[in-house]
Structure 1
Amino acid sequence: MSRNTQWKVAGFGVSALVLVAALVLANGMPEVHEALSPEASDRDAFAQQALEALRATDPTGELTYDPEQFLIQRFAPDGGLGMSLFLTNFYREYQDTRPERRGEVLARLGRAGVLPEAPASYAQARPLLMLVVRARDTFEAFSQQAGESAPVSWRPVGEVLAEALVQDTPDAMRYVPTEELARWGISYEQARADAVTNLRRLEAAPLRHLTLGVCAIFTNDSYGASRLLLDDVVRGCEVKGDPVVVVPNRDTVLITGADDATGLLTLAEAALEGVQAPRPVDGHALRLTADGWKPFLPGPKSPSRSILENLAFASRVRGYKEQTERLRKEQEHSEVFVASLVPAKDARGRFFGQAVWSNEGESLLPRADVIVFMDAALGPDAPPAATVRWDLVVRDAGTLLMPELGVYPERYRVTGFPSKEQLQRWKADPTAMDVP
């Protein structure tokens, strides 16, 4: 039986269940909006306009369009890869812009496709250095593909976000490669300190009070999210308890306090709106602790809990979706199957993630909430052999389920299948399907 079998899970085919969950999540949570992306022809038509804009700005080198990843790659005249330009954010901005002004978006895209030259020395680079904040999986993908010669110098922030060094110009940002820092003889920490100094020199972004105890930073310079890295700016908002933030898009930081139930609800509602803006970043809420930023959710009875939980889940779905596509492409000549994180919804209306573990061979599973065990011999329409919550499986599976090192979002390699006796023990456990 093919490893591409579409298993039936809880009455839905896997692909259908992804679509059902995406339809619900997309109602105010566009982290999974790409699952409902416009027809390929619309995206391809935009890509052709983008190619024309790039050629008009810089006719040198070869341009190729990858419709699967929705990106354009520019190759240097010598055949080397000059840059990769992802089109999703430009496309969203284009769609959200009035028709008479869409030419401005294409013109900006064309300028962004001209990669700034690398400074010859650190003295030339220093005044151009800045820090951007993005979703962590963006840079993990770069690092996993490139290894030691990663094209981005970056560090994790709050587990789910990341900061990265860029060379800033009026028309484009250029990520600073790790090898460039090495050539200059400069550590990441030194370059970061200079980038923070430059960030502070930007035009001040005043804290706007959305309500008592809730502040927002709104900019139009793609460095709004970077203000998260300025501790004194974040603490400039008077809040109840530890500061809690969400950075829904590149130009927005939302701030309130961990002990302010009303403030958290205001923040959550603002985040729902913020992730719908162009250039989204992430939907997780982060709390500032003694050990730095950490993912945060309020207590189960908090009125903001369900919104913040769903925002975080939607970001998790998006991250795994992009990772799954990339890993499947890398593993296309391998027998290893890369499993998806499948969204589902429980009786209380909460979303959770499932992963399918079959006995067909070796797999890479996402970190799910529930594992659905499928027996390939029974066919794709057969009910699961067992459905068990993740922590119960981890407790008992031993070496059958092992972490895959160096992969983010986290993955687990399975090389066998639990015995019938083990599956029966799990099925007999009254808590087997209790989602945390």
Structure 2
Amino acid sequence: MGLFDFFRRPPTRAAFAQIILRQIAQHQLAPDCRYDSEQFRIVAAGVDGIIFNLDNAYRDYCAAPRQQRAAVVQQYLSIYSSPGMPSSFAEARASLMPVLRSRQQGDHLRLLAQAEPQRAAFVTASQDFSEDMVIMLAYDTQTNMATIGQASLTQWGVTFEQALAAAMDNLRDRTAQRFVAMGNGLLMGDWNDAYDSSRLLLPDLLYRACQGGEPLVMVPTRGRLLLASSNNAAAQLSMLALAEQLARDEGRHVSSAMYGVRQGKVVACQPADAGVAAALRRHRTIIGADLYNQQKLEWERLNASTGEDVFVATCLLIERQSGERVVSVSSWARDVHTLLPRTDVVAIELYDEHGERSGNKMLAWDDAQAIDGGLMEQIDCYPVRYRVRASPDPQSLAAVPACEI
């Protein structure tokens, strides 16, 4: 590596955090800020102090050309100088926008509130949209986009539905038909205003852009909307490949599902083509494993803060058929208090008559869940986990056929 290559390299996570701290101090944006290296964030003093999660900022900083990195930092630092939420709905109405977010965001905030009870909890306002996604509201300004909490709606004296109706009007007003061709009949939204994924909520727009057949859409990340025709399997496969790349490169995950329009309503759907359906299952399994393993880190931080002795199981992936098929696997250890992810296969520990471990038995999820009914307790979280405190008895386990991965 040459000298110039060294200077072009992006900073480490710790070095980036120091860049942010120096900027905060230099511009006196917030008092007594500290770097939390474990969770990669900047925390301001006080129960109402701003928490600046650095993951997205660091990703954008490293991806930007060197001459644009200072602007990236300044854009993110606007959270410290943005105006507060308006005191009335009339003031806020023109700046409301709908946003689509992964259900994981709400679960992250819930776990954070449990791990840090001394800090004021932020209660989100949202509406279910699909299995893995919710609709939320944002207050949009020239410098910042702030998520609206339930406290603001209560102060304004409006329901979520009333505020969403106003936000949808604003979204329509800001939406001309802007798509760019990506090849093979695949289209991608080209608004680049942080609300590309929100246009999934506009079925008329999707129909106008679709090139024959019914529109099929994915919103893998916050700033992306991908569209293909139900008549074009090649475009759908290209859509899945690009969705996987965007999820890996951009972060800010929103949804791994594919959506269509049924009776004027946008809903999650399954593609008709068998090859596309298999590719979608593979994509969702990979994204699901990543979400589970992010969740595992958050649960482990919570357990460390509360002292709870519970094992948070990992979601493992096994590839078959040269990567065309991916199977998720979790491990159910003997008599260990465990939080299990819902996986395709569960590996249950086996022991011989002397109590020595003799291997694992692989069971399909439904078969594992049916053993000795009641051993699995579903936990209210996303992605869903199941609490197990005991192992199946050997007789019940022996009666269930093993599955092949």
Q: TM-score, normalised by structure 1?
A: 0.79
After superposition, the CA RMSD in angstroms is: 3.0
Match of 1:165 among 137, 162, 173: 137
In 2, are the aligned partners of 1:151 and 1:175 still within 8 Å (CA)? no
In 2, are the aligned partners of 1:159 and 1:294 still within 8 Å (CA)? no
Shift of 1:40: 12
Match of 1:185 among 129, 154, 157: 157
1:43 paired with 2:17, answer no
- Helix, strand or coil at the partner of 1:165: strand
Partner of residue 66, structure 1: 36
Partner of residue 367, structure 2: 392
In 1, are the aligned partners of 2:100 and 2:254 still within 8 Å (CA)? no
Query: Higher RCO, 1 or 2 (CA under 8 Å, sep at least 6)?
Result: 1
Distance 1:311 1:373, change over 3 A: same
Moved more, 167-176 or 48-57: 48-57
- Helix, strand or coil at the partner of 1:59: coil
CA distance in 1, matches of 2:248, 2:339: 31
In 2, are the aligned partners of 1:214 and 1:239 still within 8 Å (CA)? no
1:342 paired with 2:316, answer yes
CA distance in 1, matches of 2:198, 2:56: 18
Amino acid at match of 2:153: L
In 2, are the aligned partners of 1:144 and 1:407 still within 8 Å (CA)? no
Partner of residue 4, structure 2: none
Give percent identity, aligned residues only.
26
Partner of residue 264, structure 1: 236
1:55 paired with 2:25, answer yes
Q: How does 1:302-341 map to 2 (within 5 A)?
A: 302=275, 304-305=276-277, 307-332=279-304, 333-341=307-315
Moved more, 241-250 or 355-364: 241-250
CA distance in 2, matches of 1:130, 1:55: 32
1:285 paired with 2:285, answer no
Partner of residue 249, structure 1: 221
Structure 1: where are the runs of 5+ without partners?
Answer: 1-38
Partner of residue 344, structure 2: 369
CA distance in 1, matches of 2:13, 2:386: 34
Structure 2: where are the runs of 5+ without partners?
Answer: 1-8, 115-119
1:403 paired with 2:370, answer no
Partner of residue 333, structure 2: 358
Shift of 1:421: 1.5
1:139 paired with 2:106, answer yes
1:103 paired with 2:70, answer yes
Amino acid at match of 1:188: F
CA distance in 1, matches of 2:230, 2:30: 52
Shift of 1:376: 8.6
1:91 paired with 2:58, answer yes
Shift of 1:228: 1.0
CA distance in 1, matches of 2:337, 2:245: 41
Residue deviations 1:237-270, cap 9 Å, x none? Answer: 2355543211133222111233431221232233
CA distance in 2, matches of 1:70, 1:113: 18
Q: How many residues align?
A: 386
Residue deviations 1:252-304, cap 9 Å, x none? Answer: 211123343122123223324433553542462322254855544546742x4
Partner of residue 413, structure 1: 387
In 2, are the aligned partners of 1:149 and 1:177 still within 8 Å (CA)? no
Distance 1:243 1:300, change over 3 A: closer
CA distance in 1, matches of 2:50, 2:43: 6
Shift of 1:56: 3.4
- Helix, strand or coil at the partner of 1:344: strand
Partner of residue 247, structure 2: 275
Partner of residue 4, structure 1: none
Partner of residue 33, structure 1: none
In 1, are the aligned partners of 2:132 and 2:255 still within 8 Å (CA)? no
CA distance in 1, matches of 2:394, 2:161: 53
Amino acid at match of 2:47: G
Shift of 1:339: 1.5
Shift of 1:191: 0.6
